[in-house]
Amino acid sequence: MMPATAALAAATLPDGRELIVRGAAHEDAPAILAIVHRAFTARPVVGDKPEALSDDLRSVEARLEYGHGYLTLLDGEPIAVVMVARQRGALRLGRVGVLPEYRQLGVASFVIGVVLEDLAARGEERVQLLARQEFPALQAWWEKHGFVAQGIVEGNCVVMARALPVAIEVPDADAMRALGARLAHLLRAGDLIIASGDLGAGKTTLTQGIGAGLDVDGPVISPTFVLARVHPTRTDGPALVHVDAYRLGGFAELDDLGLDDSMEGAVTLVEWGTGVAEALASDRLEIDIRRGIDPDDETRWVFLTPIGPRWNRVALAAVAKEET
């Protein structure tokens, strides 16, 4: 398992500052306490005083001892925290806080994405959290990140939960293509796949494997300049529609490509489709490909997130366990 203080993910903000998420260690307790108190003090005063404001150094150290945490640094300065622990038989997120002055930078969404993927890489399958009933906007924010109210109330909080992605460690490009070929066996006409990841992460390589598994005409290459490329089937299976949304400004421009006309008889894969292509189908497979911090390491982590009843997490997990 990765050491607590090892960097899990990094990002560069538009102004050039570096954002790093890493595991929290015992010596981070004072910084965690300061972030929690400032973050929860800045929230609107509604109803009872937040339990988090009763935290002290000893309680934070206990949370680190019996659970674990994530600390986010901006140019080396701690600005956000997430704690994780098992409560009532379930894995739960808690003390999710970002310093008030950094709340408009997308830090929280980035951090939660990293945390969920790290929990998936640890073999976890499901996670919960408690959202206070007095803050419907906060519940709506968690819903955007895949959490669903479970119809259970604890005190003044609603229990929300979501399934975690299926995590697959992929050592090289050949293994990425092999994973794509295995995924192809689960695909059928009408399926939508949204693939995300940094430049060079392996989105097109994975798509090549899917194309090979579907046995479509090739070559499967990035459709950056044509935006969309159709690969007809050589058998009686579905075609592959390969879309690159990198240069598109939103769903309206994607809609102009007329994908609705081809989706029924094809598997549609949209690279760079996060935030753009979700409206194409309520049921979809979201694939996020993460590279490590070390640029010389070819290893990638692939995270498969099933959205909607079309997708079976058990079947995706079985694909992950197959030999590459």
Residue 72 scores a pLDDT above 60: yes
What is this structure's pTM? Answer: 0.79
Q: Give the phi and the psi of residue 262 in degrees, each rounded to 5.
A: -105, -15
Dist. CA 57–CA 73, nearest whole Å: 20
Cβ(316)–Cβ(180) under 8 Å? no
Judgement on whether residues 227 and 244 belong to the same structural domain of the protein: yes
Range 70-98 burial, b when 16+ CB lie within 10 A, else e: bbbbbeeebbbbbbbbeeeeebbbbbbbb
CATH of the domain at 59: 3.40.630.30
DSSP string, 117-182: HHHHHTT--EEEEEEETT-HHHHHHHHHTT-EEEEEEETTEEEEEEEPPEEEEE-SHHHHHHHHHH
- Give the model's confidence band at 1: pLDDT under 50 very low, under 70 low, under 90 confident, else very high: very low
- The Cα angle at residue 314 between residues 131 and 128, in degrees rounded to 5: 10
Among 148, 163, 178, identify where a domain stops: 163
pLDDT of residue 324: 45
Least trusted range by pLDDT, from 28-32, 242-246, 299-303: 242-246
Quote the tokens at residue 220: 């499967």
Q: Indicate whether 172 belongs to any domain.
A: yes
Domain range for 294 is: 166-321
Among 136, 163, 190, identify where a domain stops: 163
Residue 323 scores a pLDDT above 80: no
| More confident: 45 or 159 | 159
Closest Cα to residue 230, out of 262, 255, 203, 258? Answer: 262
pLDDT of residue 114: 92
pLDDT in tens, 255-280: 666 676 677 889 999 988 787 778 88
